[in-house]
Structure 1
Amino acid sequence: MVKEVLVDVGIGEIRLAALENGQPVEIYIEKKDHESLVGNIYRGKVERVLPGMQAAFVDIGLEKNAFLYVKDVIPVSYNDEGELLFSGEDFSDISEVLSCGEEISVQVIKDATGNKGPRVSTRLSLPGRYCVTMPHSNVFGISKRITDQNERKRLRQIFEKAKPENVGIIVRTAAENVLEEQLIEDMEELEALCRGLALKEQKGAVPRLIYREPDIISHAIREYLKADTDRFLINNREEYEKVLALLGDAAPGLKTKVQYFSKNYDMFAYYHVESALEEALSRKVWLKSGAYLIFDRTEALSVIDVNSGKFVGKSDLEETALKINLEAAKEIAHQIRLRNLSGIIIIDFIDMHQRDHRDQVVQTLKEAVKTDRTQTVVVDMTNLGLVELTRKKIRQPLYKSFTVDCRVCHGTGYYISPVTAARRIEKRIDSQMAEAGHGCLEVYVHPEILRVLETSEKDSVENLKTRYNCGLKLISSKDADYDEAFIRKIEI
């Protein structure tokens, strides 16, 4: 598999795309006026403890208080892979571990969304290239993706020997087959960060920021520039030089993978990322067979519907459904990753009656999501063809970075019909005429509503004028809201 990373440095924003065999699989954007807070660590103060919700609100110096669940505040235990074993469910009352006014260090694990503040955890972690350090912990684990037992033994010996006191370590997949000197250097850099963090925790006003997550380019180097990466392209000379400097002597073998994109083209357009981005922001995605997927979202979950579309098949209905669903399963895994969907995801596959066919589709989906770096769990298919999938939320979905809610429908995807809006305005006119007496009203409305009032609702408008013996001037206004009107009385 050919792996490439594109870093597009623009005015006011930096875009990142990860490609596998030329196909975009992940896209991120960081705007200078709206950077993600995920990874930042704050020294905050507990404002409220809510036993009924088993949660607390923590003031970390932002507009909205951060939200802290009980399972994110209690010390935990891990297995040898660094997977969570205990998350505090045995505690019945959060007030056993937190109290109002208490000062605590928390790390942002989810950005603020809508009217909700950021979600935080007291389980701090500082990720490096080859390992993740966890201050105030003694956990040790090795990524389960490293399957060679001899290599796991080697890594355990290296890190356990050099592991500092009161600092947990999770060995990352990228550490596999890396020289001991490079592993130790990475850990020592993180250990120095931990010491600096401990000093910042002790001094200063509360709330305050005590650790800032590196920018998107540093994030790209850490998360994407690895031994199996073929190219790391960047279109800005200054940032290109910075990347080489950041790599330094720690990863000299990776420097040759970093290339400066000097062509006079838009980088994303040149590598067909723009077209993939356009598709990822659309509601409908066509499959090669002629079938298509529909993506919808609610506050609670995302829904994906599989439709046969133009594909009619050459055999019976069951075989046709199987072929479409198998193709859809692979594309759904790709789109979920590309769109960065998270939380609960419900997939409505085309109905299949044979159990082995349903199992085949679920297994295909499970295999397809294995390439996703974000934790994803696929649940079995119901008799109705529904599959539940959960994906860990780290950053906001892609559409949030590139779109805003419609000012008419406010993000619902629909708004009242012109006739309904016109009749609401008629009722307002009726009320105003009753108060105005023998005068004249000027009514400024949206152009589309004006057309309705002058055509299908014309008789109703004339009846109002006759009933109240009142003049009426309907005026088109592009500035008027779709279902609102500005009404004023004028003297005649």
Structure 2
Amino acid sequence: MRREILAEIIANETRIIVLEDGRPLDIFIERESKKSIIGNIYLGRVQKCSKGISAAFVDIGLKKSGFLPLRKGQRLNEGELVKVQITRDAYGEKGPQLTQELSISGRFLVYKPSGNKVSVSKKILDDNEKRRLVSILGCQTVQEECWIARTLSVGVGELELKSEIFNLRRIWNILETNFAGKTYPGIFYQEISPVIKTLRDHVAVDVNRIVISGVDDYTAAKNWCRNFAPEISKIIESYNGQISLFQKFGVQEFVDDLLENKIMLPSGGNIIIEPTEALTVIDVNSGANLDGSISYDNALMTNLEAAKECCRQIRLRNISGIIIIDFVKSENADMWCKITNIIKGCLAKDRVPARVLGKTDAGLLEIIRKRSSPPLTEIVCQPCKFCNGNGYEAQPEFLIFSIIADLRQMRDCHQGGVVLVEASLDIINCLQELYSSGKEMAIAIGIGCLLDYKVDHNLPCGKYQISYNQM
């Protein structure tokens, strides 16, 4: 099994893809305008306490107040200053969710300044390894500290663990110094960048290659490795080629597929993913799958393929909350057992907690998956302007990434002349927010010719075209 990580930063958007034998395992997209704040630590001021829902609303210096669930019997006073950490981004009309159990994550360990406990990840199943990790961390614990061994800590030596303990304590001591004497809401600790977070959370011994576009992010990754993961520094490469990194490695199509709600299965069937406000529905169709000699064989083949693909798409698209899957003719108990075993096995490999709730009275499979960050559809799509919100189209910011990648690919093909970008008004407006003029954009991305924008109201939703004219 070969695993690779590709990270590309264009304009104000970061895209990261984790590949396993050439197929996408995880895709992360973060935009400056919709940046995740999960993990950030703030000093907040309690605005209001609600006994009915046992929670407090806390001003942390952002547009929306944070929602802080309270422990049983816990009381806070309005106006009181509290240290809080973001556990879930704001979405819809809801503000970010908070906790007072502050923590800082390293590659192998999670550090909490209070709790007086040592534990290991539930995904570590080997009892001998559990005892080894608990013994090492127990000897290093001071006062009320709490340490949690992450999944990547399996097999890691004592010296490496001690080194990370030292670094996490150092970060916490700096944070405590920053808190001292402050009397107003604001941020005091910011979670690391998406690229470095991927290195921290996803890079294990089975990663063969990491390629990062952009000198700044490559340098930042190397510096982080120096303190936290010196052994992976040698597999990190910098990319500064003429064409987009994703186009170079042939993975751009995987990102574009996120806009599609219909995914084909190998045997000819398909699944259709329909997100709603309350839940996500996945419908399994047999389609052209007629290979089975009887209806049961046909349904079984389609359902087993669909079970794997559903879990893969849930992870790729970061679908969360309640998920309902309608399989094909799944009344048979033996078939249902095979389907649920595959689903449970795939979900066990997911970094985000998820579990199978069971079979509904209507014969549908129900899954629940923890929501922390927004699903990718919220980042790349928006309600269609031409069908009253019943369909979806690509967000202008999502398309800017592709436009710039296409322009960079042309930069050595055309010297002199004029390159014209034609697109809908919202896409052109988005381009002009990044670059006030075509001339500024041409200089920024290194095109040796003039560049101009033009609004074309006749182009279909989410489409653009680039043309070149000699002078």
1:149 maps to what in 2?
127
In the TM superposition, residue 54 of structure 1 has moved relative to its aligned partner by 2.4
Separation in 2 of the partners of 1:299 and 1:156?
A: 42
In the TM superposition, residue 379 of structure 1 has moved relative to its aligned partner by 2.3
Q: Do the aligned residues in 2 keep the contact of 1:280 with 1:339 (CA within 8 Å)?
A: yes
1:67 maps to what in 2?
67
CA deviations over 1:352-407 (Å, ceiling 9, x no partner): 23211111111111112222111110122346431111111121111122122323
Identity of aligned residues (%): 35
* SS of 2:110 mapped into structure 1: strand
Please, which runs of 5 or more residues in structure 1 have no aligned partner?
Answer: 75-90, 415-477, 480-492
Which letter does structure 2 place at the counterpart of 1:52?
Answer: G
1:352 maps to what in 2?
330
- Deviating beyond 4 angstroms after TM superposition, the runs of 4 or more aligned structure 1 residues are none
Separation in 1 of the partners of 2:14 and 2:181?
A: 34
Which letter does structure 1 place at the counterpart of 2:25?
Answer: V
2:43 maps to what in 1?
43
1:391 maps to what in 2?
369
Q: Do the aligned residues in 2 keep the contact of 1:130 with 1:173 (CA within 8 Å)?
A: yes
* SS of 1:352 mapped into structure 2: coil
Q: Do the aligned residues in 2 keep the contact of 1:109 with 1:120 (CA within 8 Å)?
A: yes
CA deviations over 1:121-175 (Å, ceiling 9, x no partner): 1121110011001123222111233333333222222211112222211011211
* SS of 1:115 mapped into structure 2: coil
Q: Identify the match of residue 107 of structure 1 among 77, 85, 90.
A: 85
* SS of 2:188 mapped into structure 1: strand
Separation in 1 of the partners of 2:22 and 2:172?
A: 39
Q: Do the aligned residues in 1 keep the contact of 2:383 with 2:391 (CA within 8 Å)?
A: no
2:447 maps to what in 1?
none
Task: Kindly report which structure 2 residues correspond to 1:90-489, keeping only aligned pairs within 5 A, or say none.
Answer: 91=72, 96-248=74-226, 250-382=228-360, 384-409=362-387, 411-413=389-391
Query: How well do the aligned residues superpose, as a CA RMSD in angstroms?
Result: 2.0
Q: 1:249 to 1:112 in 2, by over 3 A?
A: closer
Which letter does structure 2 place at the counterpart of 1:235?
Answer: S
1:86 maps to what in 2?
none
Which letter does structure 2 place at the counterpart of 1:37?
Answer: I
Taking structure 2 as the reference length, the TM-score comes to 0.79
Q: 1:262 to 1:198 in 2, by over 3 A?
A: closer
Separation in 2 of the partners of 1:67 and 1:302?
A: 24
Q: Do the aligned residues in 2 keep the contact of 1:362 with 1:381 (CA within 8 Å)?
A: no
Q: Do the aligned residues in 2 keep the contact of 1:22 with 1:271 (CA within 8 Å)?
A: no
Please, which runs of 5 or more residues in structure 2 have no aligned partner?
Answer: 393-456, 459-471
In the TM superposition, residue 262 of structure 1 has moved relative to its aligned partner by 4.6
1:467 maps to what in 2?
none
2:56 maps to what in 1?
56
Separation in 1 of the partners of 2:60 and 2:178?
A: 15
* SS of 1:145 mapped into structure 2: coil
In the TM superposition, residue 97 of structure 1 has moved relative to its aligned partner by 2.4
Q: Do the aligned residues in 2 keep the contact of 1:24 with 1:276 (CA within 8 Å)?
A: yes
Q: Do the aligned residues in 1 keep the contact of 2:279 with 2:322 (CA within 8 Å)?
A: yes
Separation in 2 of the partners of 1:250 and 1:314?
A: 52
In the TM superposition, residue 410 of structure 1 has moved relative to its aligned partner by 5.4
Q: Do the aligned residues in 2 keep the contact of 1:46 with 1:103 (CA within 8 Å)?
A: yes
Taking structure 1 as the reference length, the TM-score comes to 0.76
In the TM superposition, residue 322 of structure 1 has moved relative to its aligned partner by 1.3
Q: 1:241 to 1:207 in 2, by over 3 A?
A: closer
In the TM superposition, residue 314 of structure 1 has moved relative to its aligned partner by 3.1
Higher gyration radius (CA): 1
CA deviations over 1:302-352 (Å, ceiling 9, x no partner): 111111112133322222111111100000010000000011111111122
Q: Do the aligned residues in 1 keep the contact of 2:107 with 2:228 (CA within 8 Å)?
A: no
Q: 1:411 to 1:53 in 2, by over 3 A?
A: farther
Q: Which deviates more from structure 2 when the two are superposed, residues 330-339 or residues 60-69?
A: 60-69
Q: 1:353 to 1:35 in 2, by over 3 A?
A: closer
Q: 1:245 to 1:197 in 2, by over 3 A?
A: closer
Aligned length: 394
Separation in 1 of the partners of 2:174 and 2:343?
A: 44
2:14 maps to what in 1?
14
Separation in 2 of the partners of 1:62 and 1:16?
A: 27
Separation in 1 of the partners of 2:363 and 2:243?
A: 45
Separation in 2 of the partners of 1:157 and 1:44?
A: 36
In the TM superposition, residue 249 of structure 1 has moved relative to its aligned partner by 5.7
In the TM superposition, residue 250 of structure 1 has moved relative to its aligned partner by 4.4
Q: Do the aligned residues in 2 keep the contact of 1:126 with 1:132 (CA within 8 Å)?
A: yes
Separation in 2 of the partners of 1:2 and 1:97?
A: 52
Q: Do the aligned residues in 2 keep the contact of 1:133 with 1:168 (CA within 8 Å)?
A: yes
